[in-house]
């Protein structure tokens, strides 16, 4: 049985990976056991354990507006931490799967393909793109640009004028585990629809809302993904 180590084990996506897994041995170290801001900590954990895949899901993500103010945390966690992981995986020749985001795209026209122009819509997107840079240099890697949301929509309202490709976290986790041996960049998401349409399928009581100026600056207006490459790989 092959072994996966997941960083960010206390996060929702890591828990989803554990929940849907039926095939792999999964290790989920806490920060005391493996701290991505400390290369020695990562190296020690990888030396003690035989690991085939490293899913790097640890990140400073939400609330996304905080990336404008908690700049040091954004840089150290998402960029430096990711570089540390890549360096340690390089030394042990471990396959590295990097969990990125659809927010690396401009967020204007949507239907973004993997090789489309990159211009992150917000500071969070920039921090995740910074992490991607290390993955492009370490060739034994896979970048997954995922557009996902909780299985239970967490907000009381959702935008009717914000287009996206939300996929439930458990569905994104299932797909991730099917792609471990791939390389390069793969978009993962669901069908193009408004955030409200996605949300109402999970919670019939969710209310409609509209993007304001602040929300447009943070989210863009259309971050939907082209997932044709993904569909071909999953056939």
Query: What is the maximum alpha-carbon separation in the chain?
Result: 51
Instruction: Give the whole-angstrom CA distance, residue 223 versus residue 235.
Output: 25
**For the whole model, what pTM was predicted?**
0.96
Q: What is the pLDDT of residue 10?
A: 86
Return the pLDDT at 159: 96
Q: How much is the pLDDT for 193?
A: 97
**Is-contact 150 19, C-beta < 8 A?**
no
Whether residue 26 lies inside any domain: the answer is: yes
Task: Give the domain CATH number at 80.
Answer: 3.40.50.720
Does 9 map to a domain? yes
- Give CA angle at 70 (65, 73), nearest 5°: 120
* 112: phi then psi, degrees, rounded to nearest 5: -75, 130
Which residue spans within the chain are E strands per DSSP?
A: 3-7, 25-27, 53-56, 95-101, 141-146, 148-149, 157-159, 163-164, 167-168, 184-188, 193-194, 207-209
Q: Which domain holds residue 46?
A: 3-151+167-189+226-233
Domain presence at residue 174: yes
**Per-residue pLDDT, 229:** 98
Please report whether residue 144 resides in a domain: yes
Cα 67 off chain centre by? 16
- Is 82 a member of any domain? yes
Answer whether residue 117 is part of any domain: yes
pLDDT at 45: 98
pLDDT for 111: 98
**Is 28 a member of any domain?**
yes
Q: Give the number of domains in the chain.
A: 1
pLDDT tens digits in sequence order for the chain, 235 residues long? 999 999 998 889 999 999 999 999 999 999 999 999 999 999 999 999 999 999 999 999 988 899 999 999 999 999 999 999 999 999 999 999 999 999 999 999 999 999 999 999 999 999 999 999 999 999 999 999 999 999 999 899 999 999 999 999 999 999 999 999 999 999 999 999 999 999 999 999 999 999 998 899 899 999 999 999 999 999 9
- pLDDT (0 to 100) of residue 189: 98
């Amino acid at each position: 049985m092959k072994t996966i180590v997941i960083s960010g084990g206390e996060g929702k996506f890591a828990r989803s990976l554990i929940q849907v897994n039926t095939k792999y041995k999964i290790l989920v170290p806490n920060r005391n056991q493996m701290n991505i801001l400390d290369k020695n900590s990562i190296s020690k954990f990888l030396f003690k354990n035989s690991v085939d895949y490293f899913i790097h899901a640890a990140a400073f993500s939400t609330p996304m507006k905080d990336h404008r103010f908690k700049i040091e945390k954004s840089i150290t966690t998402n960029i430096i931490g990711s570089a540390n992981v890549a360096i340690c995986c390089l030394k042990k020749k471990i396959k590295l799967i990097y969990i990125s985001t659809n927010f690396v795209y401009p967020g204007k026209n949507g239907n973004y393909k993997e090789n489309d122009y990159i211009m992150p819509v917000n500071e969070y997107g920039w921090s995740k793109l910074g992490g991607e840079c290390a993955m492009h240099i370490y060739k034994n890697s896979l970048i997954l640009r995922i557009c996902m949301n909780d299985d239970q929509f967490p907000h009381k309202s959702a935008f009717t004028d914000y287009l996206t490709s939300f996929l439930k976290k458990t569905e994104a986790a299932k797909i991730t585990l099917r792609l471990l041996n791939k390389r390069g960049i793969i978009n993962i998401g669901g069908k193009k629809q408004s955030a409200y349409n996605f949300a109402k399928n999970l919670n019939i009581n969710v209310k409609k809302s509209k993007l304001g100026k602040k929300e447009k600056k943070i989210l863009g207006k259309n971050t939907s993904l082209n997932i044709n490459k993904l569909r071909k790989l999953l056939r």
